[in-house]
């Protein structure tokens, strides 16, 4: 296709991508270099018969005037990225110099908010994503083998977790695992321990959130893989059966290679979705045990006194970098496969 014709077809999409993707990212990147203005403080001294007393008040008019004159805030450069709430270079360096064991260094690192959120985000992403792909494929294969009479109702009920709003679903499970809930009360009776609580243990909290993430995301991978199974050539399946291939061999050497592009698609979608995990943390009220990068952004923007736009912007940029790093191997593999087929 000639370049001019190609541009005529592409310019509306490129314009929308620039306005809705590139421009907001650039705006966030600029905002991350600034921090909020400090309040203008007035110190007055009142003297009376019993001595003088100093009082400190905030000059709201001067503070508001400064904010109007410099709406972006005070320029801080890369200081926001390196402070304690983000990459914390100084704190990590001090912890490394005072190191007496690897465990102590990791413990100090996990006390830093950004690294605590990063570890949970990566653990959630790398545990939930592969399990969602594998279990979604298993469910799709099982449903595809069912009789037509029960296949429709099974597909309907299998999609129910995806219909439930993530925040509502996590709240429902949160109430179920409560001591007075169905799951929580049952576990206490089974183990004969009235003090047993899934909410009190950080490890159990992580596991519960992982289980919820798998339960909520499996329907998406299932329906994608089920649709892909309908496109597997019947002739190829029949040929494998005639050659004496078992069901497992047919799945391994015929079905899975045919589904490889869909596996890549589901992996891309799940990596992006899981890396920005947010709703389960709010629903489970697990901020004490588990936080994510998206939750840090939310926490900065809901400040009681003032919203920390610069801090939220810096965390957003670090999240974007993290997503790009996660997706790079998948993109490289896809690009190589495309070039191999073109050759």
Structural domains of the chain, with CATH: 118-342 (1.10.3720.10)
Residue 174 near residue 182 (C-beta atoms within 8 A) = no
**pLDDT given for residue 105 in this prediction:** 80
What is the tens place of the pLDDT at every residue in 106-125?
888 888 999 999 999 999 99
**pLDDT given for residue 59 in this prediction:** 73
Nearest to 113 by CA among 81, 95, 87, 77: 87
For residue 277, the 8-state DSSP code is: -
pLDDT band, very low/low/confident/very high, at 160 (cuts 50, 70, 90): confident
pLDDT band, very low/low/confident/very high, at 304 (cuts 50, 70, 90): low
pTM of the model: 0.84
What is the tens place of the pLDDT at every residue in 290-301?
899 999 999 988
Sign of the alpha-carbon dihedral angle for 99, 101, 102, 107? negative
The answer for 88, left when phi > 0, alpha when psi is -120 to 50, beta otherwise, is left
| Cα–Cα distance, 22 to 78 (Å, whole number) | 21
Share of the chain above pLDDT 90, in %: 30
Sign of the alpha-carbon dihedral angle for 19, 21, 24, 29? negative
Average pLDDT over residues 188-217: 84
**pLDDT given for residue 50 in this prediction:** 66
The answer for 12, left when phi > 0, alpha when psi is -120 to 50, beta otherwise, is alpha
Residue 199 near residue 156 (C-beta atoms within 8 A) = no
**Could you tell me the end-to-end alpha-carbon distance of the chain, in angstroms, rounded to an integer?**
19
Nearest to 58 by CA among 77, 76, 39: 39
Q: How far is CA 289 from CA 206, 215, 221, 311, 325, in A?
A: 8, 21, 29, 22, 26
Residue 84 near residue 314 (C-beta atoms within 8 A) = no
| Cα–Cα distance, 163 to 156 (Å, whole number) | 10
Average pLDDT over residues 205-224: 92
Instruction: Return the half-sphere exposure (C-beta side, CA atoms, 13 A cut-off) of residue 220.
Output: 21
Average pLDDT over residues 283-288: 85
**pLDDT given for residue 217 in this prediction:** 92
**pLDDT given for residue 61 in this prediction:** 79
């Amino acid at each position: 296709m000639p370049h001019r014709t190609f541009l005529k077809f592409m310019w509306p999409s490129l314009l929308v991508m620039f306005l809705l993707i590139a421009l907001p990212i650039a705006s966030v990147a600029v905002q991350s270099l600034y921090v909020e203005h400090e309040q203008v403080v007035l110190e007055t001294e009142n003297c009376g018969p019993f001595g003088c007393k100093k009082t400190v008040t905030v000059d709201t008019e001067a503070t508001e005037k400064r904010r109007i004159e410099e709406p972006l805030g005070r320029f801080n450069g890369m200081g926001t990225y390196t402070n304690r709430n983000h990459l914390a270079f100084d704190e990590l360096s001090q912890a490394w110099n005072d190191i007496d064991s690897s465990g102590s260094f990791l413990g100090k690192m996990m006390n830093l908010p950004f690294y605590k959120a990063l570890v949970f985000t990566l653990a959630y992403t790398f545990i939930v994503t592969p399990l969602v792909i594998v279990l979604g494929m298993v469910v799709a294969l099982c449903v595809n083998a069912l009789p037509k009479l029960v296949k429709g109702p099974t597909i309907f009920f299998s999609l129910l977790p995806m219909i439930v709003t993530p925040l509502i679903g996590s709240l429902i499970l949160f109430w179920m695992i409560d001591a007075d809930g169905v799951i929580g009360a049952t576990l206490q009776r089974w183990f004969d321990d009235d003090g047993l609580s899934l909410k009190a243990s950080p490890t159990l909290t992580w596991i519960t959130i992982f289980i919820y993430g798998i339960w909520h995301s499996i329907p998406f991978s299932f329906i994608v893989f089920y649709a892909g199974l309908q496109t597997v050539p019947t002739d190829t399946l029949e040929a494998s059966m005639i050659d004496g291939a078992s069901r497992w061999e047919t799945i391994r050497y015929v079905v899975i290679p045919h589904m490889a592009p869909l596996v890549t698609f589901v992996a891309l979608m799940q990596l992006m979705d899981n890396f920005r995990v947010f709703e389960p943390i709010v629903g489970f009220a697990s901020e004490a045990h588990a936080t994510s990068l998206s939750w840090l952004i939310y926490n900065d923007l809901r400040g009681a006194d003032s919203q920390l736009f610069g801090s939220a912007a810096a965390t957003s940029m670090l999240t974007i970098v993290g997503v790009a790093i996660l997706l790079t191997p998948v993109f490289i593999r896809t690009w190589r496969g495309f070039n191999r087929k073109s050759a």
